[in-house]
C-alpha cells in the first residue's frame, strides 16, 4: 500500500473459512511498526463477524508494517505500507496482492513446513522472498517510473491501466532483483513487455483525458535495461 505522510489509511482483515463463511476468532490484535522499528498496538474495530479494521496514523516517510494476529484460530497477516512525503503518493498504486498475482511463487513463506511448504500466500510478508517491505519499495519506485512514462499528472480515467502497469513493473523488478534461476530472468522480461504495453494504453487514455502534460522518458533509456543475469549450466559430475 502506498500512502502520504499524514494519512490514516483504513486496513481491513476479513477472516473466512474454505466455504467463504466468516471466522469468529477468540481474539484479534494488530500492531504497526514504523520505519524506525518502533512497534505500537492498534485499536481493532469490527463491522460484522469475521470483519476487522485498523487505522494506523502514518507520521513519517518510509516503510511501515501492520501485523494482524488472531487466536482461535491462530492466523497472522502482514501488510506493508510505504509512505511518501505529503502530496507525492499515487492513489492508483497497486497493493502487494496485486503484484503477487503475477508472481505467486514468490509468496511462499520461508518458514512453512509440511503441506504448506509450496502453498503461495497470495501476498508478501516478512517471511517471503522478497519480503513485503521489499516489494513496497519496488511499488514506490515503479509508480515513479510508470507515472513518468504515462505523463504527469495521471488523471482518473487512466488510474486502472496505470495501476495494472505498475503492478507488472514491480513484479518485473522483483523477479530481476531476486533471481534464483534463468527462468526467473525470462519471466522478468515478459513482465516488462506486458507492463510496457499497458503503459502505452494508459498513456493514450491519460492524454485523451487531459493528463500527461509533462514530458515522458524513453523506456529504452531506463537504466534497468543494462541489467542481466545468467546462471552457468551444470558441469560434468565430479568423480573422486
Both 143 and 193 in a single domain? yes
Tell me what the pLDDT averaged over the chain comes to. 85
Task: Look up the CATH number of the domain holding residue 77.
Answer: 2.60.40.10
Residue 219 pLDDT class (50, 70, 90 cuts): low
Both 205 and 95 in a single domain? yes
Both 130 and 45 in a single domain? no
Residue 235: inside a domain: no
Query: Could you list the residue range(s) of the whole structural domain that residue 148 is in?
Result: 90-224
- The pLDDT tens digits of the residues spanning 159-181 come to 999 999 999 999 999 998 887 76
CA atoms within 13 A on the CB side of 38: 8
Closest Cα partner for 64 from 121, 4, 130?
4
Both 117 and 1 in a single domain? no
Residue 41: inside a domain: yes
Residue 56 confidence (pLDDT) above 90: yes
Residue 233: inside a domain: no
- The pLDDT tens digits of the residues spanning 122-131 come to 999 888 889 8
- The pLDDT tens digits of the residues spanning 64-106 come to 999 999 999 999 988 888 787 777 678 899 989 999 999 998 9
Residue 156: the pLDDT is: 93
Residue 232: inside a domain: no
The pTM is what? 0.63
Residue 23 pLDDT class (50, 70, 90 cuts): very high
The string of DSSP letters for the chain reads: -EEETT----EEEE-B-TTSPBP--SEEEEEEE-TTS-EEEEPPEEEETTEEEE-----SSEEEEEEEEEETTTEEEEEEEEEESTT---TTPPPHHHHHTT-GGGG--TT--GGGTT---SS--TTSSS-HHHHHHHHHHHHHHHHHHH-SSPPGGGHHHHHHHHHHHHHHHHHHHS--SHHHHHHHHHHHHHHHHHHHHHHHHHHHTT---S----GGGSGGGG-----PPP-PPP--
Both 61 and 179 in a single domain? no
Residue 235 confidence (pLDDT) above 70: no
Both 24 and 127 in a single domain? no
Both 97 and 195 in a single domain? yes
Residues of the chain with pLDDT > 70, as a percent, come to 83
Residue 186 pLDDT class (50, 70, 90 cuts): confident
Number of domains the chain is built from: 2
Both 29 and 101 in a single domain? no
Both 97 and 179 in a single domain? yes
Residue 99: the pLDDT is: 96
Residue 236 pLDDT class (50, 70, 90 cuts): low
Residue 74: inside a domain: yes
Q: Cell 507515472 maps to which residue?
A: 147
Residue 234: inside a domain: no
Amino acid at each position: 500500500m502506498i500512502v502520504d505522510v499524514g494519512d490514516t489509511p483504513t486496513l481491513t482483515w476479513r477472516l473466512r473459512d474454505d466455504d467463504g463463511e466468516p471466522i469468529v476468532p477468540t481474539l484479534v490484535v494488530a500492531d504497526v511498526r514504523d520505519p524506525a522499528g518502533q512497534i505500537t498496538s492498534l485499536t481493532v474495530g469490527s463491522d460484522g463477524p469475521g470483519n476487522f479494521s485498523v487505522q494506523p496514523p502514518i507520521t513519517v516517510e518510509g516503510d511501515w508494517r501492520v501485523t494482524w494476529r488472531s487466536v482461535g484460530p491462530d492466523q497472522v497477516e502482514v501488510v506493508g505500507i510505504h509512505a511518501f512525503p505529503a502530496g507525492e503518493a499515487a492513489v492508483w498504486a497497486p497493493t502487494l496482492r496485486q503484484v503477487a498475482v503475477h508472481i505467486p511463487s514468490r509468496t511462499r513463506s520461508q518458514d512453512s513446513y509440511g503441506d504448506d511448504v509450496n502453498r503461495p500466500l497470495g501476498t508478501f510478508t516478512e517471511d517471503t522472498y522478497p519480503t513485503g517491505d521489499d516489494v513496497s519499495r519496488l511499488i514506490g519506485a515503479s509508480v515513479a517510473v510508470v507515472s513518468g512514462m504515462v505523463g504527469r499528472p495521471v488523471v482518473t480515467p487512466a488510474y486502472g491501466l496505470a495501476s495494472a502497469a505498475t503492478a507488472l513493473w514491480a513484479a518485473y523488478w522483483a523477479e530481476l532483483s531476486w533471481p534464483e534461476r534463468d527462468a526467473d530472468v525470462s519471466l522478468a522480461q515478459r513482465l516488462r513487455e506486458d507492463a510496457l504495453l499497458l503503459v502505452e494504453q494508459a498513456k493514450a487514455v491519460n492524454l485523451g483525458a487531459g493528463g500527461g502534460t509533462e514530458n515522458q522518458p524513453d523506456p529504452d533509456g531506463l537504466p534497468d535495461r543494462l541489467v542481466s543475469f545468467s546462471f552457468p549450466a551444470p558441469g560434468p559430475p565430479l568423480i573422486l
